[in-house]
Amino acid sequence: EADIYQTPRYLVIGTGKKITLECSQTMGHDKMYWYQQDPGMELHLIHYSYGVNSTEKGDLSSESTVSRIRTEHFPLTLESARPSHTSQYLCASSHLLSSGNTIYFGEGSWLTVV
Amino acid sequence: TQLLEQSPQFLSIQEGENLTVYCNSSSVFSSLQWYRQEPGEGPVLLVTVVTGGEVKKLKRLTFQFGDARKDSSLHITAAQPGDTGLYLCAAHRTGANNLFFGTGTRLTVIP
């Protein structure tokens, strides 16, 4: 069982609010990721990190920002939420990716912006 | 352009039937993984295949990696309602930093 945790699981907020989605893993993984997934659709990588003080943009452009001050913690922040940000956000982690390495996912954070 | 195409996109079958879902690409991959995702949850890894032609079995699930390492299939024997979910393939291209996910196959097994 993966030791990666996301909070909150579900959140409904008003337009213009600032929100931070928390993600923590206890597996000592160097690499962490944030994916965005609309219901029943494919996953899109929006951010990733190779380790402390490393953050990179993913394949899908996102208005969110991330930080990696500690190895185990990779929070995602939306400074001003909009209805278009409504989606599921999945955090994941792995050892530095090489052939066959497994990515472990959290249970996801469902964000609804009204 | 989607790197990994999965088919079918949706599949609804009766309990006890067999099924196969496919994951195809024009790119060569160093490894490929299959995940199952249930509604409201994150994807959970089922298997990783690394060698071209490799076949792995996980109870009633059989996974195959194509000889050229460009495609993969997942065969489920005697499907059960507990198999219902979104099946995602994901692949790692040699030299690439990230895992690319397929479009997904949503399977519903009717009791």
Place of tokens 């923590």: A24
* For residue A102, pLDDT beyond 80: no
Q: What distance in Å separates the CA atoms of residue A46 and residue A63, rounded to the nearest whole number?
A: 9
Partner B, chain A 21-60, Cβ-Cβ below 8 Å: 33, 35, 40-45, 48, 58-59
* For residue A39, pLDDT beyond 90: no
Interface test with A, best of B99, B100, B107 (most A CBs within 10 A): B99
Question: Peptide bond preceding A75: is omega within 30 degrees of 0, i.e. cis?
Answer: no
Do B92 and A41 make contact, defined as CB atoms within 8 angstroms?
A: no
Are A92 and A32 a contacting pair, CB within 8 Å? yes
Work out the average pLDDT over B2-12.
Answer: 91
* For residue A109, pLDDT beyond 90: yes
Type of residue at B32? L
Name the residue among B90, B9, B19 with its Cα closest to residue B61: B19
Q: What distance in Å separates the CA atoms of residue B64 and residue B107, rounded to the nearest whole number?
A: 19
- Least confident among A96-100, B22-26, B54-58, B89-93: A96-100
Nearest to B42 among A97, A100, A108 (CB): A108
Work out the average pLDDT over A55-78.
Answer: 93
pLDDT at site B95: 64
pLDDT band at B29 (very low <50, low <70, confident <90, very high): confident
The residues near B57 (Cβ < 8 Å, ≥ 6 apart) are B63
A11 CB burial (10 A radius; 0-12, 13-18, 19+): middle
Work out the average pLDDT over B75-80.
Answer: 97
Q: Which residue(s) pair with B18 in the sheet? A: none
Nearest to A40 among B31, B50, B106 (CB): B106
Of chain B, the percentage scoring pLDDT greater than 90 comes to 69
pLDDT at site B111: 95
Do A42 and B98 make contact, defined as CB atoms within 8 angstroms?
A: no
Q: Is B101 on the interface with A (CB under 8 A)?
A: yes
pLDDT band at B30 (very low <50, low <70, confident <90, very high): confident
